[in-house]
A = this chain, B = another copy of it.
Amino acid sequence: MSAIRTPHAASRRARGQDARAPRAGSATGAAFSPLYRQIKALILQGLDRGEWKPGEAIPSEMDLAARFQVSQGTVRKAVDELAADNILVRRQGKGTFVATHHEEQVRFRFLRLAPDNGNPSPASSRVLECRRLRAPADVARMLELRAGDSVVQVRRVLSFNDVPTILDEIWLPGTLFKGLSYERLSVYRGPMYGLFETEFGISMIRAEEKIRAVAASDADASVLGVAAGLPLLSVERVSYTYGDRPVELRRGLYITADHYYRNSLN
């Protein structure tokens, strides 16, 4: 019964490091951060460093609690938020795992086009081109690069039941996607974000989209096999990895004659 650790000693210790400092300013907006958010940030750092890879298990809650010197409940709350963000996946009795794009379940998290009738059928991809070039100004801005930095441009067509439906133009930072080539993309089967994970260690965890209706240009119409002027859904997506770093710009044109873009408002 000696050397009793006073209750909350751990929390006070941990908190004293980085939660006390930014307390004063109000104009700066620097906010107080509770312990479980600091733990969340530490776990995110581990994921960013690649300490645990997509599909792998992270340490148990007890282990993490011991490692960070906090209670299991505090770790639990941090992991709860990461699971709510779809960054971690909990499996009762087995452990907590890093989310991966190599799962049927997750396939339609970033592919919002659904068929009017019937069940979602698997998409097949045909790569049109893959080349490295200097980033145009608008692309550089959205990827937070400098104009002229190296980027990879991929163009491809997605088909459902062999019907071309989506024309994608994808821009990626050249430094992050060194070995990406037309051959590598053509051989690959499965979701592109799965390839990015395993080959380049880039995990897409969030994206913002801007959606418009546009008329098909002659060139786009010819690739998609539709009449020029047909209304198409224009979807401009910026995808982010850990730390809210943009790592992909994707411009898609969707034929919405037999499909629709689904969305839920909560």
Q: Name the interface size band of chain A.
A: 20 to 34
Interface positions of A (Cβ within 8 A of B): 84-86, 109-110, 112, 205-215, 229, 231-234, 236-237, 254, 256, 260-266
CB closest chain-B residue, reference A263? B209
A interface SS class: strand
Cβ-defined contact, B265 with A110, below 8 A: yes
Contact A207 B261, CB 8 Å, known A213-B231, A231-B215, A231-B232: no
Cβ-defined contact, A208 with B85, below 8 A: no
**Shortest Cβ distance from A204 into chain B, in angstroms?**
9
Cβ-defined contact, A207 with B265, below 8 A: yes
In the complex, chain B residues whose CB is within 8 Å of the CB of A206? 264-266
In the complex, chain B residues whose CB is within 8 Å of the CB of A208? 262-265
Cβ-defined contact, A263 with B211, below 8 A: yes
Cβ-defined contact, B86 with A260, below 8 A: no
CB closest chain-B residue, reference A114? B210
In the complex, chain B residues whose CB is within 8 Å of the CB of A263? 112, 208-209, 211, 263
